[in-house]
Structure 1
Amino acid sequence: MIFTKKIQFILHKLQKILVAYSGGLDSTVLLFNLVKLRKKYPYIKLRAIHINHNLNFYSKEWSKICFLKCQKWNIPIICKNIILNHKKGNIEEKARIERYKIFNNIIENNEIIVTAHHLDDQYETILLFLKRGSGPKGLSGISQTHIINKLRLFRPLLNISRKELLNYAMKNNLDWIEDQSNLNNKYDRNFLRNIILPHLHYRWPFFKKSVLKTSSICREQEELITDLLSSVMKKLIQYNNSLFFIPLHKYSIIKRNTIIRKWIEYNKCQMPSRKVLSIIWEEVVCSKSNFKSYVKISNYQIRKYNSCLYCIKNFFTLKNNIYKWINVLIPFILPNNLGKLIFLSKYKKNTLQIRKPKKKEIVFIKFYITGEYYFLNLKKKNKIHNIWNKLNIPIWERNNIPLLFYNNIFIAELQNNLVTIEGINNEKEENFIFWDKNFN
């Protein structure tokens, strides 16, 4: 078995494994060894996922080969297709984003994704990060264990070279798919692998070892920085994962940038360049507006509200959307995976006491409103903008909060139980409304 005893121990403890299987040399050796490990530990639940990126003429044939190989080794396999737009953006980055969307949709509870990244992948990745001008974090390379959102990843082959994998595959009579696109040097990694690295190794045979040593040093430095800043980060990061940035004004630029970068990493967002860090500070933090200025990083936005920075996923606004709740006895499924609304006859935690709609009243769910309304039990009406500010709700959240109306009467804003006087009465018959946000 190609796995070390330490790796075998980790893998058998995982029990539920989803293998990213392309059919190439690396993933074939990985899958073959996991099958052997399953024989040793029969309770391991092993599945495979093959994603056809439709970038090659033979990709459909490769999917069939992977399916038959898994059938031979008695491994359940899921085959998925993705179609990518070749015209705009980085095709490799687009493919990676689509892959993780699929992983998120099929992953089971307590299941971990195992990938076939090896030592040469690590080496090439470090050099590509160097080309991008990355700091110690990027030059630390690929970590053996990694969490992306809620996905857990493990890379058991990370300390094994491609040459070792090739020798192992040939010794065990394994067959695999050869992707001819690996010879296409328009892709940065292929250009590096096929053109640049052979010259470097010919001139400096020790070059790979030196790069990996540098990566190890960078990883240690990054861990030290994290440790030294941990007490500061605990004070600055708020309960909602926002960053209280007022104290950053008195720090040096280096310390300030490091804290913002660490906070962005904490929010599982892609690492920003030095230029992006500068823009975040000058155009977002130092902006007079709470609303207009923001910076996009991949599928996230860095925004400011009051004295905090927020790292939020790109969102689809429901502004001006109106929905009719025809039968309040049936839960109302909210759009945009926001959950559902439920009328209850008994109190439940986090519910709002509310009267039942009258016979001639139609129940509407609206997103975003203008005008003046009664706030709590105040006798004077307030502009809705001022009410949002008093509730301390950032602008990007306001358009996705369901607002309950009976005909044209504003009854409640459900996130913070903002009830208008029109919505309160002294009738004996009472109901409660509950926003179940975990439903999707």
Structure 2
Amino acid sequence: MNEYHHVYQCLKDLYPNGPLYVGFSGGLDSTVLLALAARFAREQGRELTALHVHHGLQAAADAWPAHCRQVAASLGVECRVLTVTVATGPRVSLEAAARHARYAALAAELPAGAALLTGHHLDDQAETLLLALKRGAGIAGLAAMPEHKPLGRGVQLRPLLHLSRAELERFAAEQGLNWVEDPSNADNRFDRNFLRNEILPRLLTQWPAFARTVSRSAALCAEQLELAQDLARQDLIGLVNSAGGLSVTDLRSFTLARRNNALRHWLSERGLHLSHSQLAVAWNELALAAEDATPVLEIKGVKLRRYQGHLYVTARESEPVALNTIKPGCWNELAVGRLQLQPVTAGADITMAPEQLHIAFGITGLRGQPAGRHGSRPLKKLWQEYGIPPWQRGRIPLLMHGERLVAALGLFICEEYAANPHQPGWKIEYSAEPEGTGSGE
């Protein structure tokens, strides 16, 4: 069975261990996937669960949860139904809003280390690349859908990407599978439906191998994207300061293509994906502004800034959480990051016990003496020395002993509180929340 071989090989190569989940809409693609995954799970002794997302957008969909439970039960698989609310509005893409709600629900359901299998196939890949061409996308868009990608606490796998819809239909008929037809799939007002119903059939009639050759182009673009990302990571080494700012001076020495590549990668790590024209505007209005200026540019609701020769993406607007008590040996959530104080017998950062300390933000008038330096300085001066932009200073967690500064987390520990190299005490682990905005599929 050729279809099963593809799924078997994909799961064995990409995800040999751990629980499996199938995104099960009840349609043809996911029904075939669930049947193949159920066989794999039986043969390999793997845990498998079907997840059906009920969007509540059309009356016909109200009967689908019961259908999905019945089909899953016939295959010996548990089916969970997740109900979501889809944001709608005059300027909201219903397709995008439903997809966002669906993947948010699926990601939240995945335990750590689990894999979500979705039924995207060869024809879907062709549609995705054609939509990317329509948008004028670069290689990230033309790479279309990867076979695997991170999702929530686990991964998303697409085991059917090398199979066409015709092959799935043939398999479903041979196996006597039943599936639902979504009435909205006939609505050509949606771009993907227009391609699927009107354009792709004509292309496949003229060129039967079209979907497969387009998929090969997407795979080649994915390779080029990986190379571009590797180059960007190398180029960004040493260009990002302790406050997360990107050096404008260093970027100016790059060629245009290399600079755009590095800048695009740096922005994407912060959840911001700009078009070619937006990237040019950001560079011209921020990087090339007068040296003594502190320009701000707002794009997609996110502020880009330049300060002391570096570019910044404004942090999320979540309010920092001060802590009157710090729980030792576990992560303490601060909204701007996470703090953990671990007891160690040597190599401690501080000797003072957590119960004597607290976390505060934005205290004025403090002084500090970073370990290894002579004399204390006002915290305002230290912020300037460390290149901390004004808008970030009130979000840096201050580890306090009464009214005295013990450490500015992520930056320095004060001399009077710093442990000797071989002293027992407490190791400070601080993980700052990345700047920028989150993004989902």
TM-score scaled by structure 1? 0.77
1:261 to 257, 264, 273: 264
CA distance in 1, matches of 2:62, 2:292: 51
What is residue 350 of structure 2 aligned with on the other side? Answer: 352
User: Structure 2 vs 1, CA of residues 343 and 273 (structure 1 numbering), >3 Å: closer, same or farther?
Assistant: closer
Letter paired with 2:159: P
2:45 to 43, 46, 56: 43
Letter paired with 2:264: R
What is residue 205 of structure 1 aligned with on the other side? Answer: 205
What is residue 275 of structure 1 aligned with on the other side? Answer: 277
Give the C-alpha shift of residue 302 in structure 1: 6.1
What is residue 128 of structure 1 aligned with on the other side? Answer: 131
Q: Do the aligned residues in 2 keep the contact of 1:146 with 1:153 (CA within 8 Å)? A: yes
What is residue 388 of structure 1 aligned with on the other side? Answer: 383
Q: Do the aligned residues in 1 keep the contact of 2:6 with 2:162 (CA within 8 Å)? A: no
CA distance in 2, matches of 1:249, 1:22: 49
What is residue 337 of structure 2 aligned with on the other side? Answer: 338
Q: Secondary structure at the match of 2:59?
A: coil
What is residue 174 of structure 1 aligned with on the other side? Answer: 177
2:143 to 136, 140, 145: 140
CA distance in 2, matches of 1:116, 1:391: 49
User: Structure 2 vs 1, CA of residues 78 and 243 (structure 1 numbering), >3 Å: closer, same or farther?
Assistant: farther
Give the C-alpha shift of residue 33 in structure 1: 1.1
Q: Do the aligned residues in 2 keep the contact of 1:243 with 1:308 (CA within 8 Å)? A: yes
User: Structure 2 vs 1, CA of residues 284 and 237 (structure 1 numbering), >3 Å: closer, same or farther?
Assistant: farther
What is residue 54 of structure 1 aligned with on the other side? Answer: 56
What is residue 410 of structure 2 aligned with on the other side? Answer: 415
What is residue 89 of structure 1 aligned with on the other side? Answer: 92
The 5-angstrom pairing of residues 150-299 of structure 1 reads: 151-197=154-200, 200-201=202-203, 205-206=205-206, 209-210=209-210, 213=213, 216-217=216-217, 219-220=219-220, 223-224=223-224, 227=227, 230=230, 233-238=233-238, 245-264=248-267, 267=269, 269=271, 271-287=273-289, 288=291, 293=296, 296=299
Letter paired with 1:180: P
What is residue 437 of structure 2 aligned with on the other side? Answer: none
User: Structure 2 vs 1, CA of residues 212 and 52 (structure 1 numbering), >3 Å: closer, same or farther?
Assistant: same
Give the C-alpha shift of residue 139 in structure 1: 2.3
Letter paired with 2:359: I
Stretch of structure 1 that moved more, 48-57 or 241-250: 241-250
Question: RMSD over aligned Cα, in angstroms?
Answer: 4.1
1:369 to 363, 366, 370: 363
Q: Secondary structure at the match of 2:178?
A: coil
CA distance in 2, matches of 1:29, 1:38: 14
What is residue 12 of structure 2 aligned with on the other side? Answer: 12
Q: Secondary structure at the match of 2:3?
A: coil
Q: Do the aligned residues in 2 keep the contact of 1:269 with 1:297 (CA within 8 Å)? A: no
CA distance in 1, matches of 2:208, 2:27: 23
Give the C-alpha shift of residue 7 in structure 1: 4.1
User: Structure 2 vs 1, CA of residues 254 and 28 (structure 1 numbering), >3 Å: closer, same or farther?
Assistant: same
CA distance in 2, matches of 1:348, 1:78: 49
Letter paired with 1:370: T
Q: Do the aligned residues in 2 keep the contact of 1:366 with 1:405 (CA within 8 Å)? A: yes
Give the C-alpha shift of residue 278 in structure 1: 1.0
User: Structure 2 vs 1, CA of residues 286 and 211 (structure 1 numbering), >3 Å: closer, same or farther?
Assistant: farther
Q: Do the aligned residues in 2 keep the contact of 1:7 with 1:156 (CA within 8 Å)? A: yes
1:324 corresponds to 2:324? yes
Letter paired with 2:364: T
Letter paired with 1:334: E
Q: Do the aligned residues in 2 keep the contact of 1:236 with 1:244 (CA within 8 Å)? A: no
Q: Do the aligned residues in 1 keep the contact of 2:143 with 2:218 (CA within 8 Å)? A: yes
Stretch of structure 1 that moved more, 20-29 or 172-181: 172-181
% identical equivalent positions: 25
Give ranges in structure 1 of 5+ residues lacking alignment: none
CA distance in 2, matches of 1:268, 1:5: 39
What is residue 75 of structure 1 aligned with on the other side? Answer: 77
Letter paired with 1:401: I
User: Structure 2 vs 1, CA of residues 409 and 337 (structure 1 numbering), >3 Å: closer, same or farther?
Assistant: closer
Letter paired with 1:368: G
Higher relative contact order (CA 8 A, sep 6+): 2
How many equivalent residue pairs?
419
Letter paired with 2:155: R
Give the C-alpha shift of residue 282 in structure 1: 2.0
CA distance in 2, matches of 1:129, 1:68: 37
Cα deviation code 1:207-242 (max 9, x no counterpart): 574575356346435635754885574143359797
Give the C-alpha shift of residue 32 in structure 1: 0.5
What is residue 404 of structure 1 aligned with on the other side? Answer: 399
Q: Do the aligned residues in 2 keep the contact of 1:316 with 1:336 (CA within 8 Å)? A: no
CA distance in 2, matches of 1:211, 1:164: 13
User: Structure 2 vs 1, CA of residues 152 and 238 (structure 1 numbering), >3 Å: closer, same or farther?
Assistant: farther
Q: Secondary structure at the match of 1:339?
A: strand
Q: Secondary structure at the match of 2:37?
A: helix
CA distance in 2, matches of 1:98, 1:196: 28
Give the C-alpha shift of residue 435 in structure 1: 4.5
CA distance in 2, matches of 1:86, 1:197: 29
Stretch of structure 1 that moved more, 206-215 or 72-81: 206-215
Give ranges in structure 2 of 5+ residues lacking alignment: 434-441
User: Structure 2 vs 1, CA of residues 268 and 218 (structure 1 numbering), >3 Å: closer, same or farther?
Assistant: farther
Q: Secondary structure at the match of 1:27?
A: helix
